[in-house]
A and B are shown apart, each in its own frame.
Chain A
Amino acid sequence: LTISGVSGDELEVFSEVVTANSHGLLWVDLTGTSATTRPWAGLAPGAMSSGDFHGISVLATPPSTTDQLRVALEFVGPVADQTVTFGPTLGVPTVAQLATGDYPRFRFQGALPPAYDKSASIDVLSSADTGNAFTILATGAYLAASGNPLAYDFTMPDVSGMVGFPLAARLSAGTNVVSGGAIAFTGTGVFDLRPSLGSELRAATRSITIEVP
């Protein structure tokens, strides 16, 4: 497996097997080195059925950082030499607080490299494992129809006054991690991507922390 576009990032390789009714993780290379030529493993051709294929996922993180992650995923046939090229990194999302009180709301903005044309997203997660999660995703088509496919500008909807809305779903108070994400994918599906032989996925995330009152 030859990996490019990572410039010293630590790399982890996952190999998966996609069958007619399953999508299973087969092996993980967690050595975490920056070696850009490394083996990958999958089923022997004799163990594969018609329609089976492999997924090779490579995760890249800059050394000694936790705020950036890039993913390159290739769906390929029988095990053979493969080349994976990563997409660009993302910039740090810009966060502005819009409201406090029972339902704190924020605005999230960021630029999108043209390579990531499938979707853009923001995930907000409490640093505590027991906290709430909030995610926004916009498709590339939506962003383009909104006038700018190369940027996202998300505002948490103010639904706190609506009947039936649980205020307990608010962002958890304290430190939260905000992750901006973007995806390119050559297969089908928009919100739920569907693996197919030959399709490729490129994704990147960039995180910062915020304090939620």
Chain B
Amino acid sequence: MTRTRRAGRAWVGAVATLIVLACGGEDPAGSSGSILISLTPTTLPVQQGGSGSLTLSLTRGGGFGGAVALTATGLPAGVTTTFTPAQMTGTTVSSTVGVTVGAAVAPGIYTGTVSATATGIDPATTTYQVSVTAVPEYALTVVPATLTISPGASGEASVNIQRTNFTGAVTFALATPPPGVTGVFDPAQPAGNMSTLTVSIAANVAPGSYPVTVQGTATGPGVRTATLSVTVALPPSYAINLSPAAFAVQRGTSAVVNVMLARSNFTGQVTLALENAPPGITGTLVPASTTGNTSVFTIDVGVGVAPGVYQLSLRGTASGLTDRVAFVQLTVTSTPPGGGNVEYQFCDPSLVPVFFAYQDGVGAWQPVTGFTSGATTTFAFNLTQGRGGVMSVFRTTVANALAVDPAAPVRRLGPRVSAVRGGRSGVVSGPRATPIGAASLLTDVYLTEVLYGTTGELAQDGIDYCALTQPTKTVRGTVAGVPFGQYAIVSLGSSARLFVSGSSSNPLTFAGVPSGRVDLVGSRIATTGAAPDKAIVLRDLDIPDGGSIPASIDFNGPASRRPRR
């Protein structure tokens, strides 16, 4: 409410209207004129960046008819006021007051003053209020901003809504999430200020960092986003690997097992311990606790331990992880006839080394004299250092070169690679690796083999050697069903032969076939480089040395089938 200085009268306006009285003064004609202005409404709500208008009403009194000019003051920077018209003449009794609020004007209630002035009379003023309100808005935040989730698992985060002059619903979704990443919001369309996001990672998602965009959509403010960083990481884990995991050891001796920790996203300390060991068997681990990846597990077997197979448990404990248990299969053997804890047995007289020596730890090499019982020759010695070496020198004569040629696989594939293909005494033959023919051997040749291993590994090798050098036989087989220009690969036991129709001799001779029952597999290839069109399997063939396979190896016969390719 405003009071003129001259009249000193107060007008109490109605709720929606302020009335300002201006009176006194003389008009040019000598009469006492006055003006009075009022605004409707007196409070104008305007959003930031918006505008609105009021209506100014002019009441002339005392016969005053002059021009009235309108001005506005009092509002903060960013708020502008306009009058249309800005000067009221003649019979004009109203003006539109436009109010424009800049986007940067802070929300609040501001009071402005409109002044009406005219020549010869007192001015009139009135006030109005502009209520600046914020634009409806919301923002999103994700807490926590980073989630670490394992493949195949899920994690949760809270999506919070910061509302400003906005109460509507927000609909949530993930905007084009990376493959294998999915999200579920609960609730998906919250009217409140929070939703729980469950992020699931498919099992095949590779470890790495994946930005995930949380998208909110609301009527009015529109789309708003927030970013959640999802780190896909393998769960902390480790495995205990033992090498060797199974071996033989002489009672009264010890053996060394290498413990390797295969860690995954885990660098903590692992404590290792032998548990529930049978009486007489003890183990030490150096180190027993480690943040590294290796430990040496020494197993001591007392002289009173009964020969047999024992399973030892090695338990690993680590803070925050479940225990891991690895097993060692320990075959405790009695004292061999030779008096040592390692003995190499050679069951094929034609494959007995002409010289044998061993090394205990890193000590001096010592020759070993074998002793023969029946067809078996044994070289026995004692290792006290937990590891050592053996040297075997084999002589291959012209007479047995065709039967067994230990050096042959070496020449193309390397002996260790070929071993897994055909066994130590096997001969890998065929297009890739052809054994040396007897005709090329003018003198005896020697193969010297030096093996280094732990006591257990060498003891096991000595046991295995006999089985690997069982007598072999030579068998013939007639190939049929391979037209001229085609070829076949035929294997009997571990003896493989290439048959080229028109140039290979028929029947084929399979040398070095393990004695006893063996299976035959073969394939027919119509075009060089192409996959076979026929495969044949003949099982449990028990052919004597020098004998022949009773039926032909017929690729058109009833045993022939189409291979899978």
Contacts and interface: CB of A to CB of B under 8 A. Distances in A.
Contact of A21 (B257, B422, B517): B517
A188 interface: yes
How many chain B residues sit at the interface, stated as a range, is 35 or more
Contacts of B391: 157, 159
A59 B369 CA distance: 41
B293 to A, nearest CB: 10
A194 B445 CA distance: 28
Interface string A46-71: 11010000010101000000000101
Interface stretch (A3-11, A93-101, A136-144): A136-144
A92 interface: no
B450 interface: yes
Contacts of B432: 12, 14, 28, 30, 59
B410 A192 contact: no
Given A137-B452, A145-B386, A203 B564 contact: no
Interface string A33-57: 0000001111111110100000101
B365 interface: yes
A201 interface: yes
Contact of A169 (B244, B258, B355, B525): B355
B410 A139 contact: no
B445 A130 contact: yes
A26 B491 contact: yes
A179 B563 CA distance: 37
A192 B564 contact: no
Interface stretch (B51-59, B93-101, B460-468): B460-468
B521 A22 contact: yes
Contacts of B296: 144-145
B423 interface: yes
Interface string A152-164: 0010111100111
B387 A190 contact: no
A193 B422 CA distance: 10
Contacts of A49: 539
Contact of B452 (A45, A142, A195, A203): A142
A42 B564 contact: yes
Interface in B230-287: 243-246, 256-258, 260
B32 to A, nearest CB: 106
B367 A165 contact: yes
14 contacts: A22-B519, A22-B521, A27-B532, A28-B431, A31-B529, A117-B260, A132-B445, A140-B258, A141-B454, A166-B395, A188-B246, A190-B457, A192-B461, A201-B420
Given A136-B450, A188-B245, A191-B424, 9 more contacts: A17-B537, A21-B517, A26-B521, A117-B243, A129-B411, A133-B446, A168-B444, A183-B416, A194-B420
